Structure 1
Amino acid sequence: MSQKAIKLIECPRDAMQGIHDFIPTDLKAAYINLLLQVGFDTIDFGSFVSPKAIPQLKDTKEVLAQLDLSNTKSKLLAIVANLRGAENAMLFPEISYVGFPFSISETFQQRNTNSSIKDSLTTVEQMLELCDRHQKTAVIYLSMGFGNPYGDIYNTDIVAQWASALVERGTKILSLSDTTGVSAPEKIKELLPLLVSSFPQTEIGLHLHSTPDTRNEKIEAAYLSGCRRFDSALKGFGGCPMAADDLTGNLATEGLIDYLTQKGEVLNLNMDKWRQAMLLSAEVFQGM
């Protein structure tokens, strides 16, 4: 059992964003309201991005208005892709965390946020300033952190270099992200301890995508490497529609819960509400 408490970040936003058929706002809100009762540290619930880019999430404000935050310990996280999105997120005191995908692949940064890595670093600086002013915390995702499918130069030094640049600018939470499912246990064991030891004042997390057959080995590699902040999504739904045509799903939360429980971690989750969310997910994700 670890000395540091585990933080579980449940990601219905990531699970929903690539689904073609629009999920009704009331259904989204009902599903997220159930997840809010489970006891996760954070719910990654929506995003303030162009509806042209991610039409599924055009109703994030309307979903937020329907969320019951009166009896939950979970905090809300919203994703943004530019400064305008960050400014929109600042308008809602209910949101604690604002996430930004900072890709170390130039090609993907253009595809995902329509800006260069250099410009995105400026966006991060402005976003960190905004968050400080509005009592929010930025979560910066080191996207394509395990490689990329575009042939852009990638190695461990590049990961460390950009992580350092982000931390130097004031990033408090850095999430190493495997956007397309290319991470392997060996790479996780190499990168995670490097980041944890290099930036002891920064919370280092993992946002892994995985197929079911490689899920457990990735979770184990991460846990044994000292990861205590995990992003996941119920049943492994989701993937990044901006990254590739074939979506590689998220890490499945139930697999993560099973593994951590076997390791003696006390997660303090309401498993009755979790089972209800599992049942409702069949309706939410019927198009998958």
Structure 2
Amino acid sequence: MKLIECPRDAMQGLPDFIPTATKTEYLNTLLQVGFDTLDFGSFVSPKAIPQLRDTAEVLAGLDLSSTPTKLLAIVANLRGAETALQHPEISYLGFPLSVSATFQRRNTNQSTAEALADVAAMHEQCERSGKTLVTYLSMGFGNPYGDAWSPEIVTDFTEQLAALGVRIVALSDTIGASTAATITPLFSALIPAFPAIEFGAHLHTTPTTWHEKVAAAYEGGCRRFDGAIGGIGGCPMAADELTGNMATENLLRFMAEQGQDSGLDMAAFARAQAAAASVFAFH
């Protein structure tokens, strides 16, 4: 299993600004653990996400000299992508393409057609710059707006991404709507149908449903999982206030159940857990 740690998702919705030095220190702690990828920040409007307005400053303070971990930054439009592409330290750009037209408009102020056009342009820019675009299919398991959702709709979005040459697609359970009954069939259908795409799972969950969701994605063939230490963060639109990010420690527990070695430095992970408890203690 490939683990993507998402402190950006954990921090972005917090109302109190986390000082830049604190963010930088925490991310440097995470870089020592050995995650495949660190979703560390985003180049979006400071008005949209005030918490991450210092992403460039944080990036400048990261120690990448002895870590295998690659950096991923979220962008919401071409302007953000162009900014992110100026930083050679970043390997991945992530863009949220929503299966729900309502959420696309709310999240990036675009129509679905406009968002797909941006995906095409970003993918081309990433290819020229030696970077990789990660496309998140937001609201990938349903939405609260009454917009149409079905496995066929998700497949149609994936077909369009495959036609563009997109190589990584993360199905995103934005509001915690997924169940084992929807997760396994979706991955089981998509993974063999699109062998050129690496599929990931960005699952939001309550503390009691995490195991069934991870197991369902794993059973469907998914081997790329997003998590956040402590399960911090998630979408504020979720119906259950306990719905948050998939806790990284639970992903590690599941890997152990499968007899898999995470390959992480567990002493460094313990230090990261302690750091997370400090960073998020007052939020």
**TM-score, length of structure 2 as denominator length:** 0.97
Question: In 2, distance between residues paired with 1:107 and 1:236?
Answer: 26
Per-residue displacement from partner, 1:80-125 (whole Å, max 9, x unpaired)? Answer: 0000000000000000000000001000000100001110000001
Q: How does 1:200-215 map to 2 (within 5 A)?
A: 200-215=195-210
Structure 1 residues 156 and 199, CA, compared in 2 at 3 Å: closer, same or farther?
Answer: same
Q: How does 1:83-232 map to 2 (within 5 A)?
A: 83-232=78-227
State the superposition RMSD in angstroms: 1.1
Partner of 2:184: helix, strand, or coil? helix
CA contact (8 A) 1:12 1:44 kept: yes
Query: Which segments of 5 or more consecutive residues in structure 2 lack a partner in the other structure?
Result: none
Query: Which segments of 5 or more consecutive residues in structure 1 lack a partner in the other structure?
Result: 1-5
CA contact (8 A) 1:31 1:280 kept: yes
**1:29 paired residue number:** 24
CA contact (8 A) 2:175 2:239 kept: no
**TM-score, length of structure 1 as denominator length:** 0.96
Question: In 1, distance between residues paired with 2:43 and 2:213?
Answer: 30
Partner of 1:52: helix, strand, or coil? coil
Question: In 2, distance between residues paired with 1:274 and 1:179?
Answer: 26
Give identity over the alignment, percent: 58
Select between 61-70 and 221-230 the one with higher mean Cα deviation: 221-230
Question: In 2, distance between residues paired with 1:228 and 1:275?
Answer: 23
* Aligned length, in residue pairs: 282
Deviation at 1:287, TM superposition (A): 3.3
Question: In 2, distance between residues paired with 1:276 and 1:45?
Answer: 18
Deviation at 1:246, TM superposition (A): 6.3
Residues 1:53 and 2:48 aligned together: yes
Per-residue displacement from partner, 1:225-282 (whole Å, max 9, x unpaired)? Answer: 11110001001001134x4586631000000101111211121110111111111112
Partner of 2:208: helix, strand, or coil? helix
Structure 1 residues 245 and 60, CA, compared in 2 at 3 Å: closer, same or farther?
Answer: farther
Q: 1:72 aligns with which of 63, 67, 70?
A: 67
Structure 1 residues 266 and 31, CA, compared in 2 at 3 Å: closer, same or farther?
Answer: same
**1:3 paired residue number:** none
